Amino acid sequence: MSNQPDEKGFYGAFGGAYIPEILHENVENLKKAFYAARKDQSFNEEYAALLKQYVGRPSPLYYASRLSAAYGTHIYLKREDLNHTGSHKINNALGQILLAQRMGMTRIIAETGAGQHGVATATACALMGLECVVFMGKTDVERQYLNVQKMRMLGARVEAVTSGNRTLKDATNEAIRYWCSNPDTFYIIGSTVGPHPYPEMVAFFQSVISAEIKQQLEEQTGRSYPDALIACVGGGSNAMGTFYHYIDNTKVQLIAAEAGGKGIDTGETAATLHVGTPGIIHGFKTLLMQDADGQITEPYSISAGLDYPGVGPAHAHFYQTGRSRVYAITDDEALEAALELTRLEGIIPAIESAHALAVLKKEDFAQDDLVVLTVSGRGDKDMDTFIDYFTTKQDF
Ligand SMILES: *Cc1c(COP(=O)(O)O)cnc(C)c1O
């Protein structure tokens, strides 16, 4: 098992590039530019300097002692929530903006769900002085208003998309449509999804997460690998970054948490790996939530960042081959896990990350196991959701 797809962009049965002819040249140019940049020392140095001086990397690997005591094991939190702009998304947005600059492209488009990728992209565009348009479902515009305001302040134009159920899938459709009619724009995709080479490229830009874990774990424990890695999966970029340098080390269990919504049997879910079947969406083959006629089923999750009917091809492959173990975490389980982390460690996580935290209740780790869990983002954007939920459930 490898962190690299084959030359056509397939991870096992999943991936590839299913794109309209009009985008062919565009995607070929991107592939060439990415492969050249990846090997180029000056590109890597420029990227590393931005991650250090602008994002604030390395993000800490924090030993959560009260959480560890509560679960009778050793839990380390990889703190992507402490990055500039509040999540792991900035790692990828900066990598792609440097690539766009190298390719001489000045107009940037992006799609966003929770708004974290939109904010990261708008930030990168402000930093580089580039024009930015962000497509976002109207439902998400309403439930993630703070991020919308941030994007506007950063100078981006936010396009509220009114098709479908007005969430991430619809925003992505609209971004692809715009890209087809404006092939001179650079499309910064926010997760390990889309046509080859995007999943491979986003994984590369997020791989800094596991590169740091390796070094930090060695420094803190004398061992460079954990017994288990846990991360939430929407499209799969923070999980792919967390797993990247450990995928071929079978001593390391890879555990993913997807959004179960109200439960995988309720029809109100975004648990793609549990309920999906092979299909093509947004330019790649993956496990997809669809009906018997191949119509995409509307996904549901309380978390806007996990509300996607597909999943990155690498995760479909890891799941199908048994390399990863995947839990579908319900809205309730995630919110309770968010409150637990807040009360035990003083860290308010994003609802997306709280799905990963809820895995701790499902697993039975040994006393001396080393568990690394990625906190993909901070909970500031989710405060309204937390308050609504907890004031109806308990004394809060
Ligand atoms: C976008 C987002 C996710 C989900 O995206 P992945 O590509 O699966 O990582 C998870 N957590 C946070 C905080 C996000 O903003």
317 CB less than 6 Å from ligand 1? no
CATH 3.40.50.1100 fits 14-51+89-202, yes or no: yes
303 CB less than 6 Å from ligand 1? no
Q: What is the pLDDT of residue 164?
A: 87
Q: What is the pLDDT of residue 144?
A: 87
Asked, colleague to colleague, whether 14-51+89-202 and 58-86+207-392 share their fold, the answer is yes
Q: For atom 13 of ligand 1, which residue has the closest CA?
A: 377
φ, ψ of residue 133 in degrees (nearest 5): -120, 130
Q: What is the pLDDT of residue 394?
A: 67
Q: What is the pLDDT of residue 155?
A: 98
Q: Which residue has the higher pLDDT, 145 or 156?
A: 156
Which of the listed residues 77, 232, 329 should we mutate to test ligand 1's pocket, taking the one with most ligand atoms within 8 A of CB? Answer: 232
- Pull the structure tokens for residue 348: 């308010």
Is residue 344 a contact partner of residue 318, using CB atoms and an 8 Å limit? no
φ, ψ of residue 156 in degrees (nearest 5): -85, 155
Average pLDDT over residues 175-203: 96
- The DSSP 8-state label assigned to residue 73 in this structure reads S
- In 3D space, the residue among 202, 248, 218 whose CA is nearest the CA of residue 30 turns out to be 202
Q: For atom 4 of ligand 1, which residue has the closest CA?
A: 234
DSSP string, 47-70: HHHHIIIII-PSPPEEE-HHHHHH
Is residue 97 a contact partner of residue 255, using CB atoms and an 8 Å limit? no
349 CB less than 6 Å from ligand 1? no
Q: Is the pLDDT of residue 121 over 80?
A: yes
Is residue 169 a contact partner of residue 301, using CB atoms and an 8 Å limit? no
374 CB less than 6 Å from ligand 1? no
How far apart are the two ends of the chain, measured CA to CA in Å? 46
pLDDT digits (tens, 9 = 90+) for 249-273: 999 999 999 999 999 999 999 999 9
> Quick one: what percent of the chain has pLDDT higher than 70?
99
193 CB less than 6 Å from ligand 1? no
40 CA → ligand 1 middle, Å: 28
Query: What's CA 287's distance to the chain center, in Å?
Result: 17
Q: Is the pLDDT of residue 350 over 90?
A: yes
147 CB less than 6 Å from ligand 1? no
How far apart, in whole angstroms, are the C-alpha atoms of residue 171 and residue 133? 12
Which of the listed residues 205, 237, 238 should we mutate to test ligand 1's pocket, taking the one with most ligand atoms within 8 A of CB? Answer: 238
Residue 327: exposed, middle, or buried by beta-carbon count in 10 A (0-12, 13-18, 19+)? buried
Q: Is the pLDDT of residue 47 over 70?
A: yes
pLDDT digits (tens, 9 = 90+) for 332-344: 999 999 999 999 9
Confidence class of residue 395 from pLDDT cuts 50, 70 and 90? Answer: low
Half-sphere exposure at residue 369, Cβ-oriented, CA atoms within 13 angstroms? 21
- Answer whether the bond into residue 195 is a cis peptide, omega within 30°: no
305 CA → ligand 1 middle, Å: 5
- Pull the structure tokens for residue 50: 């931005």
Q: Is the pLDDT of residue 357 over 80?
A: yes
Average pLDDT over residues 26-39: 97
Domain ranges of the chain: 14-51+89-202, 58-86+207-392
How far apart, in whole angstroms, are the C-alpha atoms of residue 392 and residue 396? 9
Q: For atom 1 of ligand 1, which residue has the closest CA?
A: 305
Residues catalogued as catalytic: 89, 111, 376
- Give the Cβ contact number of residue 227 at 10 Å: 17
Find the angle CA(307)-CA(308)-CA(311) to the nearest 5 degrees.
Answer: 130
| CA separation, residue 23 to residues 17, 28, 36, 170, 195 (Å) | 10, 9, 20, 19, 10
Query: What's CA 160's distance to the chain center, in Å?
Result: 21
With b for 16 or more beta-carbon neighbours within 10 A and e for fewer, the 85-109 pattern comes to: bbbbbbbbbbbbbbbbeebebeebb
233 CB less than 6 Å from ligand 1? yes
Is residue 163 a contact partner of residue 176, using CB atoms and an 8 Å limit? no
Q: Is the pLDDT of residue 114 over 90?
A: no
Q: Which residue has the higher pLDDT, 149 or 304?
A: 149
Confidence class of residue 305 from pLDDT cuts 50, 70 and 90? Answer: confident
- Pull the structure tokens for residue 60: 């800490």
Find the angle CA(55)-CA(60)-CA(62) to the nearest 5 degrees.
Answer: 155
346 CA → ligand 1 middle, Å: 21
| Nearest atom within ligand 1 for CA of residue 238 | 9
Q: Is the pLDDT of residue 313 over 80?
A: yes
116 CB less than 6 Å from ligand 1? yes
CATH architecture of the domain covering 58-86+207-392: 3-Layer(aba) Sandwich (3.40)
Average pLDDT over residues 30-39: 98
